[in-house]
Chain A
């Protein structure tokens, strides 16, 4: 067993190095091109950022080889390309934000390392179901605590302690997924039980709908108290999907969608900002509204994408500065302006690779908990990417969440690197335990 593992580790060296070099080349290349596009010269920060990217990516490679030798060789490099593309766009928008983002990239890779080192076997997380769940809930609710919560852009998401501002919900999301994987795995059989049938749907007993209603209530609370439409949607979506994956009962999906519809309608009736989101979605480009608050940013998103066309204006050569929040929520549109349809398609494909790999890892995971964990984390990345990308392209009403790995922002970057470390860990398999058993 250990011989097989070792040989598999060796044979993975070539793809690991190859993917890392590719990710480095794409990240540094995009950054240098952005510098040339903007100022016509090599960026003054060249040596610094090349050092940061090289040490970060190579460091991660060495770390994976040391602590998760059988991990999927493309996982980290795929995320690294997303990080690199996002960084080049942030650099192109503002040198100051790029410096902060570079710092957060290093911190994120640090968090990746710590996660990988501390969590030697993903299954050990299964032992702390309620501790992790409680911690996630606390992080989620922290911004609502008077005195330390901050309202930024209409949503109460930020916590300010001294000079440090961060969004605890970002890391909270990952913890909640761990909790759900653990909880649902433990109660799978119970939740699978069907007592009645409605057409083709096999309905669970009413008492087992408790958790569903609880999650629904929590999501609504996030919407009502924190006014965070995006997070609310995300949590409920992940919960329903994981419940369905765990039990195989389509009834949960149907009930979940019904509850979602009710919640969405209630939100629309009760909240001006929800109504505005919907109206902005429908009428972003109406001539009499296009310059109004909200409408303008979505219109600018479309204008940026449209002026990018197929090949884009080239990094540093468009006007993504005209798009509000181009470095965070709207970074997909900014990339679409300068890298065109080719760039936006590349982003979508990179996410599909990441999510596809995540789901494959889930299917190969050693037990129910790790399967659910990998599937949940993949769903989190996929849903969050979809919600924001579909939002800025007006497929669905816009809800403000970051584009994982790409958007500017420390909390988001760090928690996504933690998420990535967990996927890497699951993909590396139960090395310690099986070794002991052998």
Chain B
């Protein structure tokens, strides 16, 4: 029987060898692929909370927007946002029920130490069971500007959204969107608190989880005249080009007319210049310009500023998800000529948000070069070593330098003696544009203001929207309600 028993031993060895091959496949060769299976979400989540997640810092490298601390609960680490709701729309939240949003999501690979750049965990950490530490990311946000914007927005009764950029780099200096929320509650380790907060936030008709500064769209009103004026300049109509100045514009194919704000006639005679029309924000003249240039030229100019043809896209890349402004495709205006005139003054088919309009101002102020908005400048490993840097990127050139200089002068006049005088700052030349956007029968208009300063070498571009007229209601104009907020933000950015 010995012969059989020997063979039996070999057979058993073979059987166990087969299992050995299989466990090598599962635990070594295919381990990452199997462990990353979407069905393994729970284990991945638990592993995620084992990591000492990296911090999100302001541009000063000291102000902490988001950080991790040891938790006594089931999960090893707890995310906390020391500034409360202030930066919620930038950092997003980190919830084990509803996942991650904004920077917590887009820079998760760095924060969770999963990006290829960081070195692998050291052997001693592994042996001693020290938690993995994530990389920190440094943002472009200036806490002083953010605070100033938040204070100015809070002083206004209505809901306000503000974006401030550095035109030279696209750096986002501040983003305020009312109403906001406290990410600490959604990042709690108590599922009941998370769910209750989530339900409450989603039941709110004002949608606090969405940033009105970058996620939602509103008619930009007269601030869009900057785009129409850009198209005019690009198509050979200089600041001194003359346009008819009636008190109303007959819209082709209809019985309707386009009127100036308040039904008045712009001053300056039967013909006025492009510059004068912008200073007074004449709807009639910009309607004429829209019809003269046609939808193709307007759409092309809008694309260069980052407007998309469809809602919900983001043509200009940004470090967190956002929704670009919308200017429809030219062919949608066929048989709808009046819509071209109305779109040229930022109504009807056109939509934008403060981030989009701040990009328009920033491009004009930056000599016609549109820089991509940037929110993160670098990532640092736990020892403080910089492991990745993110350089400014040019997106497009919507204007020639000459046309940009001309449009800047036109915008300076708006603040110096036009509709935007409330944005004047002693000793600083501010270039701006107001907007008062109608939206629906009986609703109070949205008040807009976008500007950059100092006009000769801008370091800040800003866009402000005050929803539904704010404290002035139906009497609101961009110059009266939104411009003072923009001024406060510019002052903070210039250190005044």
Interface residues of A in 282-335 (CB under 8 A from B): 285, 287, 290-291, 296, 299, 302-311, 314, 317, 319, 322
Judge whether B26 and A302 touch: CB under 8 Å: yes
Which of B34-42, B305-313, B407-415 lies at the interface with chain A? B34-42
Given known A303-B39, A309-B27, A319-B42, contact A363–B19 (CB-CB < 8 A): no
* Bound CA–CA A317/B28 (angstroms): 19
Judge whether B19 and A395 touch: CB under 8 Å: yes
Given known A306-B26, A393-B23, contact A368–B1 (CB-CB < 8 A): yes
Per a CB cutoff under 8 Å, which of A245, A246, A303, A311 touches B35?
A303
Per a CB cutoff under 8 Å, which of A290, A340, A386 touches B27?
A340
For chain B, the count of residues having a C-beta within 8 Å of the partner chain is 37
> What is A's interface to B at a CB cutoff of 8 Å?
37, 241, 244-246, 248, 285, 287, 290-291, 296, 299, 302-311, 314, 317, 319, 322, 336, 340-341, 344-345, 348, 351-352, 355-356, 359, 362-363, 368, 371-372, 375, 379, 382, 386, 389-390, 393-395
* Bound CA–CA A424/B32 (angstroms): 43
Chain B min CB distance to A349 (Å): 9
> What is B's interface to A at a CB cutoff of 8 Å?
1-6, 8-9, 12-13, 15-16, 18-20, 22-24, 26-28, 30-35, 37-40, 42-43, 46-47, 126, 129
The 27 sampled A-B contact pairs (Cβ below 8 Å) are A285-B37, A285-B39, A290-B37, A291-B39, A296-B39, A304-B43, A305-B23, A305-B27, A307-B31, A307-B47, A310-B27, A311-B126, A319-B42, A345-B20, A351-B16, A352-B13, A355-B12, A362-B1, A363-B2, A363-B6, A371-B5, A379-B8, A386-B16, A393-B22, A393-B23, A395-B18, A395-B19
Chain A min CB distance to B30 (Å): 7
Q: Which residues of B contact A290 (CB under 8 A)?
A: 37, 39
Q: Which residues of B contact A322 (CB under 8 A)?
A: 42-43
Judge whether B19 and A389 touch: CB under 8 Å: yes
Q: Which residues of A contact B40 (CB under 8 A)?
A: 299, 303, 306-307
Given known A345-B20, A395-B22, contact A306–B5 (CB-CB < 8 A): no
Q: Which residues of A contact B23 (CB under 8 A)?
A: 305, 336, 341, 344-345, 348, 393
Chain A min CB distance to B132 (Å): 12
Given known A244-B4, A303-B37, contact A352–B16 (CB-CB < 8 A): yes
Q: Which residues of A contact B37 (CB under 8 A)?
A: 285, 290, 299, 303
Q: Which of A285, A355, A363, A393 has the most CB of B within 10 A?
A: A393
Q: Which of B18, B20, B46 has the most CB of A within 10 A?
A: B20
Per a CB cutoff under 8 Å, which of B9, B18, B34 touches A302?
B34
Judge whether B2 and A303 touch: CB under 8 Å: no
Q: Which residue of B lies closest to A393 (CB)?
A: B22
Q: Which residues of B contact A303 (CB under 8 A)?
A: 34-35, 37, 39-40, 43
Judge whether B15 and A363 touch: CB under 8 Å: no
Judge whether B27 and A348 touch: CB under 8 Å: no
Chain A min CB distance to B26 (Å): 5
Chain A min CB distance to B207 (Å): 32
Q: Which residue of B lies closest to A248 (CB)?
A: B4
